[in-house]
């Protein structure tokens, strides 16, 4: 076969003749510019190759069209004409060297999430979660894939989701797939050449059942015994405040000393999940737990519970984090606390109430919320163990006893 560029009207019969005479090399079709066939030792491949200039820069388009005889001459010409038409219309698909890869697109998406959180004045919690999913599941599998290849490989994405489901559980698999889908959607805002089909189109997302685990009343003494074995007073204070207030573990871990308001007998969690500030009234037991953290505080450390939060999951307790929040809600129901009051104490935004009135309602319900908080704390301490009951209150009553402890938090 000569080495010069050979043009020939390529037909299936002509390819058969080349195969019979063991003729190898590259032949260009004389009918459709850019269409060529490569006759190798083991297989015969179709491809499209075209040189052009984009914004004054030399560029090429090279696409594999399949193998003969699965793809015959007529099908190869049709596919080549489709690519040629896209180039003529200015809708050239990027090549492997210029195509945006998943890791680069994910960098841009994370930057967007952090900026969005900053605009709202909230911690970039979602960006942090996506970053963890990236390290565990996304980058190891698809980091170097071009986005277009992801869209064109729904089966590979589906198999990846099923693999994570078996290895890490259904919730982790769903979150990883949702992060991949969101990254692709965000990238498609800027890249009109991306295929419209989402990479996750073949995934059947796992059914998720919200966890309602909590601490049974009979298990409170066991929890108290495990809590007393914790060496760190900061960790003990963190878990006790979580049990006494029902705060979300992540929000409690981000609590700073500047958010403790001794004069107002409350602490404030800013930028909570619902987008509002949560005001948690003190009880005597809550103040004692905070005093425990203050006694072990490091000078200059802004956080009340440094190195807690997710690290707190290492502590050997029968219930931690969100399970303590569920326990708090159960005690509210058991004590018959008003539904609206319990919603406010937990930092929920009650349905059907405008956000502009929530703060007014909270302020108006202040005494009732403080009384409910004290009642809940006394019930929790009574359930833990009689040996950890608070000492006798001052003769003037619970409010004065609580106030007497507040200077330690200042």
Nearest Cα to Cα of residue 286 among 319, 336, 245 = 245
Render each residue's pLDDT in the chain as its tens digit; 410 residues.
Answer: 444 577 888 888 888 888 777 778 888 888 888 888 888 878 888 888 887 776 566 767 777 888 888 888 888 888 888 878 777 766 655 554 456 889 999 999 999 999 998 887 777 878 999 999 999 999 999 999 989 889 989 999 999 999 999 999 999 999 999 999 999 999 999 887 788 899 999 999 998 876 667 888 888 999 999 999 988 899 999 999 999 998 888 888 888 899 898 888 888 887 666 556 778 899 999 999 999 988 888 888 888 888 776 544 577 888 888 888 899 999 999 999 888 888 888 877 655 555 555 555 555 557 888 888 999 999 999 998 755 444 333 334 445 545 555 555 55
Give the helix, strand, coil percentages of the chain, each rounded to 5: 55, 10, 35
Which two structure tokens, joined as six digits, stand for 225?
């015994």
CA dihedral angle for residue 387, residue 392, residue 397, residue 401, rounded to 10 degrees = -80
Alpha helices in 120-219 (DSSP H): 125-133, 139-142, 147-151, 154-168, 170-190
Give the CA diameter of the chain: 110
Taking CA atoms, 359 is separated from 207, 289, 347, in Å, by 36, 27, 11
Using only C-alpha atoms, the chain has a radius of gyration, in whole angstroms, of 32
| The pLDDT value given to residue 351 | 57
Helix (H, G, I), strand (E, B) or coil at 210: coil
Instruction: State both tokens at 134.
Output: 């990236």
Q: How many Cβ atoms sit within 10 Å of the Cβ of residue 225?
A: 12
- Residue-level pLDDT at 179: 96
- The 8-class DSSP code of residue 125 comes to H
Task: Characterize 283-292 residue by residue with b for buried, 16 or more Cβ atoms within 10 angstroms of its Cβ, and e for exposed.
Answer: bbbbbbbbeb
d(CA 61, CA 69): 24
What local confidence, expressed as pLDDT, does residue 397 receive?
43
- In this structure, the strands spanning 44-54 and 35-39 are antiparallel
Task: Please tell me the CATH code under which domain 6-88 is placed.
Answer: 3.30.160.390
Strand order in the sheet with 278-281: 260-261, 266-269, 278-281
Please state, in angstroms and rounded to a whole number, the distance separating the CA atoms of residues 182 and 176: 10
pTM (global) more than 0.75:
no
For residue 345, what are its two tokens? 């104490």
Single out the residue of 319, 116, 78 nearest to residue 213, CA to CA.
319
CA angle 390, 395, 398 (to 5 degrees): 50
Give domain 217-409's CATH architecture.
Answer: Orthogonal Bundle (1.10)
The burial class, CB within 10 Å (0-12 / 13-18 / 19+), for 346 is middle
């Amino acid at each position: 076969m000569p080495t010069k560029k050979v043009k020939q009207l390529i037909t299936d019969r002509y390819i058969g003749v080349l195969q019979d005479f063991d003729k190898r090399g590259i032949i260009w079709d004389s009918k459709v510019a850019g269409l060529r066939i490569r006759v190798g030792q083991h297989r015969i491949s179709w491809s499209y190759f075209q040189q052009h200039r984009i914004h004054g820069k030399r560029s090429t388009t090279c696409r594999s069209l399949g193998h003969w005889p699965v793809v015959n001459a007529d099908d190869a010409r049709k596919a080549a004409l489709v690519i040629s038409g896209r180039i003529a219309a200015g809708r050239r698909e990027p090549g492997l060297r210029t195509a945006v890869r998943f890791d680069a697109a994910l960098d841009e998406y994370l930057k967007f999430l952090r900026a969005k959180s900053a605009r709202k004045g909230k911690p970039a919690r979602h960006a942090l979660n996506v970053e963890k999913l990236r390290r565990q599941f996304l980058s190891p599998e698809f980091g170097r894939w071009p986005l277009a290849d992801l869209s064109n490989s729904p089966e590979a994405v589906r198999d990846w989701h099923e693999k994570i489901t078996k290895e890490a559980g259904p919730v982790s698999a769903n979150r990883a797939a949702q992060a991949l889908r969101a990254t692709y959607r965000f990238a498609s805002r800027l890249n009109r050449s991306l295929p419209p089909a989402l990479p996750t189109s073949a995934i059947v997302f796992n059914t998720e059942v919200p966890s309602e685990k909590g601490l049974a009343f009979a298990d409170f003494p066991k929890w108290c015994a495990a809590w007393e074995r914790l060496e760190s007073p900061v960790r003990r204070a963190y878990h006790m405040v979580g049990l006494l207030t029902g705060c979300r573990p992540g929000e409690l871990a981000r609590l700073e000393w500047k958010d403790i308001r001794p004069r107002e007998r409350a602490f404030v969690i800013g930028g909570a999940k619902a987008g509002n500030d949560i005001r948690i009234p003190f009880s005597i037991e809550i103040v004692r737990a905070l005093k425990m953290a203050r006694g072990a505080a490091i000078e200059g450390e802004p956080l009340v519970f440094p190195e807690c939060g997710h690290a707190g999951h290492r502590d050997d307790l029968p219930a931690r984090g969100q399970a303590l929040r569920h326990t708090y809600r159960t005690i509210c129901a058991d004590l018959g606390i008003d539904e609206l009051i319990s919603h406010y104490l937990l930092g929920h935004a009650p349905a059907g109430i405008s956000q502009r009135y929530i703060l007014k309602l909270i302020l108006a319900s202040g005494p009732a919320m403080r009384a409910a908080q004290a009642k809940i704390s006394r019930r929790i301490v009574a359930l833990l163990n009689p040996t950890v009951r608070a000492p006798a209150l001052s003769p003037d009553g619970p409010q004065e006893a609580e106030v007497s402890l507040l200077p330690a938090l200042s």
